[in-house]
Chains A and B, each alone.
Chain A
Amino acid sequence: MAATETHAQYVMGETVRLLDGPLQALLHPALPLLVAGVVAALAPPRLRKALLVLAPLWGAWNLLGFTSGDLVSAELAGFELILLRVDKLAFLFALLFHLAALLAGIYALHSDDRMQQVAGLLYAGSAVGAVFAGDLLVLFFFWELLAITSVFLIWARRETASTRSGLRYLLVHIASGVLLLIGAALHWIEFGTLVFERMDLGSAASWVLLLAIGIKCCFPLLHTWLVDAYPAATELGTVYLASFTTKTAVYALARGYEGCEPLIWIGMAMAMFPIFYAVIENDLRRVLGYSMINQIGFMVCGVGLGAGLGVNGAVAHAFNDVIFKGLLFMSMGAVLLRTGRINGSELGGLYKTMPQTAGLCMVGAASISAFPLFSGFVSKSMVMTEAAHEGYVVVWLALLFASAGVFHHAGIKIPFFAFFAHDSGLRPKEAPLNMRVAMGIAALLCIAIGCFPNALYALLPYATDYHPYDTTHVVQQLQLLFFSALAFVTLMLTGIYPPELRSTNLDVDWFARRAAPRTLRVLAAVGGAIWYGVLAGLADVLKVVRSVVRWLHSPAGRLGEPWPTGTTVFWAATLLGLLLLFSYLGSAL
């Protein structure tokens, strides 16, 4: 399947490439999913469902035709744009996205909602396009496309709250996109090129771009959109959402900021702070959202740690995270679908009727908690090892704490509150078959990667000879997990565990959701008051002017009425006198 790169030919953006071997033409990797999405928009339900499964497979098959170094460029609007640039990093992410699309596609089969299915396909396609974008402008296109397509998954819930939430989500992502655009402009001005390569922090462009990516990547204080929007989406939508947006951002970070030290600290903060929110959060999908930020923290940290193990760890963890986080979201989605509830305080005891879902959820929980033999273990430890190796002891400790925290809220809390805990009395049906299949595949992958990590390692951007299963790692991780579990049990039994709050947690979200609209409203009110004040003032002035003018010039006014003859004569005489005086003085001077 290897292409002869020397003879590769491309025609414009449509990427027709001649290959030897069985494949005669390859499409741009994003196209299968995007085309499928467009077709699905018009297709009848059956075909649509087929597309949901087949499009990722077709895409993956198409993708496999590319190898590192493939490049497609086209001139558009006066710019030489690199539509496609294949290397290992992008390839891995693309593969991951196809996998995620497949899983989500299977998971979505029970649904008839055209909007979600179409949006899901387009969304996945955009993510694939984004990772292959060779320059910042193309990246921007797909970056925004990600936002537009994904927001439908939130709106698809068709509730006022989710509509609002979706709008906020869109605003944040368009802000990110605009920043990316500005960053691209700066990059072009500073470096004369738009090619998206690793850059050093320092130039204005690099900071703006970091901010743009940071928004999508949920940097601390920029993270609120995630916990706001993901729980608002449909059960299906969240599964899609969890897979693409943030991972694209991690990709962009790995591409552009590999080895930037600030990222280590940012990542550390991201890994830590969500834990506290997650503990007190009631909405289980929001809990997962916080845990997602926490996991991304590991990835960001890994990227910050730089080439080799750090980036490898970040990428591998991203890969795993998509699968196990997807699995967890899928299980919560199943719960939501069957019970219509998602708050921890309203659930419990579901294992009785949804045993399979419960089991699969446990696999996901084990993975995210990095139990040995589960996928989380083989990637998370890479980052931590690298941190320790590079001498960031504080970071290492923080990550350790974060690991414990993850286990606490994602590993224990989610399955415990949903499926066990006190019996809520709910007796829902087991999840639909397609969901279970999707979850099953995901679980299988979790275990498979956990057991045979080398397959994954082979795909990583840097050559690696990392071995997760040495005694130190395993023992250390198990100690951590057991003590963490002990703490949970103790807290639960003593009743100190913080109760789930029924309200919505607003952290820095407050700025976006309360302060910004209020500020706008106040601004508008103040501006309006000033404006109308000025208008009213002007109107008053005008009124005065008008009445003066009218008083003077209207037919009854001094200047508007015909004067008596004598008056004009008087003026004539006066003018004559004045003129005489004037010329007399003028000539006298």
Chain B
Amino acid sequence: MAAESVGQGLQQVALSTAFDVHFPALEVVLPLVAAPLCFLFRSRAFARILSAAVAWLTFGVALVLLQKVLAEGTVRYPLGGWAAPYGIEYRVTVAGAWVILVVSLVAALTLLFDSRGSASRLAPERRYLYYSAFLLCLAGLLGMAITGDLFNIFVFLEISSLSSYALIALGRDRRALMASYSYLIMGTIGGGFFMIGVGLLYQMTGTLNVEDMAQRLPAVLDTRTVLVGFAFLLVGLSIKLAVFPLHQWLPNAYTFAPPRVSAFLAGTATKVSYYVMAEVVFVLFGAHFVFTEIGLGAVLMPLSVAAMFVGSLAAIYQADLRRLLAYSSIGQLGYMTLGLSLANVEGLTSGLVHVFNHGVTKSGLFLVVACVGYRTGRTTVRSMAGLGTRMPATSLAFVIGGMSLIGVPGTAGFVSKWELIRGALAAERLWLAAVVLVSSLLAVVYVWRVVEMIYFGRPEGLESLGRDGEPVREAPFSMLLPTLILVAATVVFGLWSDPTLSVARSAAVELLGGAGG
């Protein structure tokens, strides 16, 4: 079976002389090459343009890849011509293509965002380093989703993580340093766990290729080594995924990172880990083993529910908008892992579609906060006071993004929530559906708090003045544009959810019907 598919892969490579065969590699190579280029040229303007261009290119490639995957099934690309399972194989599944689409889209739009001056603690002449790190991070995230080799996943994971630690530490507030450090420790432990898990599995199967391993695992599933390996993999990924109670690195990291980094990471980092976890659970081990034999659902489901509540409740009390959004992310990740823990098509579909919906929404909201911060000089909830009239477009963008977080119909958030509830019902868990809905009411509270501040708050004294002592006015177009695109996307894909849902569904079907088990 594996040999056949490998043969087919080779055949494809042999037969097709078209360039798009190399797209899977290109997707990773582009940012990976661009990163040192930025470093070499040492020009901020060049770096900025190059990174944006690369991001948009990867987005285009991701689009093509997704279309191709949907049309032809899994796209395989043996790296360096070494066929799997011996060489490293890039393997684009529907889910993978879906995730890289989200990652590259968010990257492209956040790089389009003109983060003037306020971006980082880097001196202006050294800001090219920022783009370098950014591109590395992008490459790492894309690589994780594309590669079909477990150890390769670890490598890309570390690439993205290391660059994101650096990026976070660039935040202007000195608290960013501690946040980055904390994330570093957690991330490294998570990565280490992942690596150990991979090692143990390799020990039992002798392969690192995901599909190959999936073929071989069933024979040794009842050995304790595999169980231990599975536990390591899962906990390692849970750390990266900020599953409750391993979520505490996230709020500060997102809060104190430079604005664009917050927006980018919030929309992508955890999403990719989510994809990897789904692949490990469903493709590598198979739903039957994970949920029926081990009963992971009994662990993951309560943790997800706890995350939904803890994240949302903590968000209610936050004074800082970014931290509010970060805690909200923890809650939203709870929805995604809950969908995964349901282990049915609807649940997984909801998780995967939320990858897109939440990615777009949360990035948009972080960009909104960046706009507010740029004009008012602060990012507290209080700083939104009375912005309804002074920054109407930005305010409206927040309201719409907030609605998506709540899951108001007509926004993207609703679509995922709808699917999640269907998943809960399909798993015959009505109470879970109710819990999901109740928890989304908590989102109403923290979103509404801000909305009230926007439209009812009365700025007093210094508050009515912005960062430079000038009256606060609408954010510049170059900042507003990507923000509004992201926010508009939440509405567009809230109303026109057919494409997102159908891709997510075929990804879910593919994952669930995957090998192993």
Give every chain B residue within 8 A of A499 (Cβ-Cβ).
none
Which of B193, B222, B234 is A587 in contact with, Cβ under 8 Å? B222
CB under 8 Å from chain B, chain A span 246-263: none
Give every chain A residue within 8 A of B245 (Cβ-Cβ).
568, 571, 575
Which of B224, B232, B313 is A576 in contact with, Cβ under 8 Å? B232
Complex-state Cα separation, A512 to B31, whole angstroms: 88
Give every chain A residue within 8 A of B179 (Cβ-Cβ).
562
Among A97-105, A144-152, A547-555, which stretch is in contact with chain B? A547-555
Question: 0/1 per residue, B305-346, Cβ < 8 Å to A?
Answer: 000001001101111000000010000000000000000000
CB under 8 Å from chain A, chain B span 167-182: 179, 181-182
Known: A571-B246, A582-B299, A587-B222. A553 touches B235 (CB 8 A): no
Give every chain B residue within 8 A of A563 (Cβ-Cβ).
248
B313 touches A575 (CB 8 A): no
B181 touches A578 (CB 8 A): no
Known: A552-B313, A559-B314, A560-B314. A578 touches B299 (CB 8 A): yes
B189 within 8 A of A: yes
A583 touches B314 (CB 8 A): no
Give every chain A residue within 8 A of B227 (Cβ-Cβ).
580, 583-584, 587
B186 within 8 A of A: yes
B186 touches A569 (CB 8 A): yes
Of the four ranges (under 10, 10 to 19, 20 to 34, 35 or more), the interface on chain B belongs to 35 or more
B310 touches A579 (CB 8 A): no
Known: A569-B189, A572-B190. A587 touches B294 (CB 8 A): yes
Q: Which residue of A lies closest to B221 (CB)?
A: A587
Known: A565-B182, A571-B245, A584-B224. A576 touches B235 (CB 8 A): yes
Give every chain A residue within 8 A of B252 (Cβ-Cβ).
562
CB distance from A330 to the nearest CB of B (A): 68
Complex-state Cα separation, A575 to B185, whole angstroms: 17
B249 within 8 A of A: yes
CB distance from A560 to the nearest CB of B (A): 4
CB distance from A581 to the nearest CB of B (A): 9
A504 within 8 A of B: no
A586 within 8 A of B: yes
Which of B230, B246, B314 is A568 in contact with, Cβ under 8 Å? B246
Known: A565-B182, A571-B246. A586 touches B224 (CB 8 A): no
Q: Which residue of A lies closest to B313 (CB)?
A: A553
CB distance from B401 to the nearest CB of A (A): 22
Complex-state Cα separation, A557 to B182, whole angstroms: 19
A576 touches B193 (CB 8 A): yes
Complex-state Cα separation, A576 to B319, whole angstroms: 33
Complex-state Cα separation, A1 to B46, whole angstroms: 110
B189 touches A572 (CB 8 A): yes
B437 within 8 A of A: no
Which of A549, A553, A582 is B295 in contact with, Cβ under 8 Å? A582
Give every chain A residue within 8 A of B293 (Cβ-Cβ).
586-587
Known: A553-B314, A559-B314. A575 touches B238 (CB 8 A): yes
B317 touches A550 (CB 8 A): yes
Give every chain A residue within 8 A of B230 (Cβ-Cβ).
583
B294 touches A555 (CB 8 A): no
A567 within 8 A of B: yes
A569 touches B185 (CB 8 A): yes
B294 touches A586 (CB 8 A): yes
B360 within 8 A of A: no
Which of A550, A555, A565, A580 is B181 in contact with, Cβ under 8 Å? A565
Question: 0/1 per residue, B294-308, Cβ < 8 Å to A?
Answer: 110011000000000
Q: Which residue of A lies closest to B242 (CB)?
A: A568
CB distance from A136 to the nearest CB of B (A): 48
Q: Which residue of B lies closest to A570 (CB)?
A: B245
Give every chain B residue within 8 A of A575 (Cβ-Cβ).
235, 238, 245-246
B61 within 8 A of A: no
Q: Which of A555, A563, A565 has the most CB of B within 10 A?
A: A565
Give every chain B residue within 8 A of A557 (Cβ-Cβ).
314, 317
Give every chain A residue within 8 A of B294 (Cβ-Cβ).
582-583, 586-587
B447 within 8 A of A: no
CB under 8 Å from chain B, chain A span 453-484: none
Give every chain A residue within 8 A of B186 (Cβ-Cβ).
565, 568-569, 572
A560 touches B317 (CB 8 A): yes
B228 within 8 A of A: yes
Known: A567-B248, A568-B246. A580 touches B317 (CB 8 A): no
CB distance from B445 to the nearest CB of A (A): 11
CB distance from A393 to the nearest CB of B (A): 74
A583 touches B231 (CB 8 A): yes
Give every chain A residue within 8 A of B298 (Cβ-Cβ).
582
Q: Can you identify 27 A-B contacts, CB atoms within 8 angstroms? A: A553-B310, A555-B318, A557-B314, A560-B318, A560-B327, A562-B179, A562-B182, A565-B181, A568-B239, A568-B246, A568-B249, A569-B186, A571-B245, A572-B186, A572-B239, A575-B238, A575-B246, A576-B232, A578-B299, A579-B231, A579-B234, A579-B299, A582-B295, A583-B230, A583-B294, A584-B227, A587-B224
16 additional A-B pairs beyond A562-B182, A565-B249, beta carbons within 8 Å, are A549-B313, A553-B316, A554-B317, A560-B313, A560-B318, A560-B327, A562-B252, A563-B248, A565-B185, A568-B249, A569-B186, A572-B193, A572-B235, A572-B238, A576-B193, A580-B228
Interface residues of B (CB under 8 A from A): 179, 181-182, 185-186, 189-190, 193, 222, 224, 227-228, 230-232, 234-235, 238-239, 245-246, 248-249, 251-252, 293-295, 298-299, 310, 313-314, 316-319, 327
CB-based closest 3 A-B pairs: A553-B313, A554-B317, A563-B248
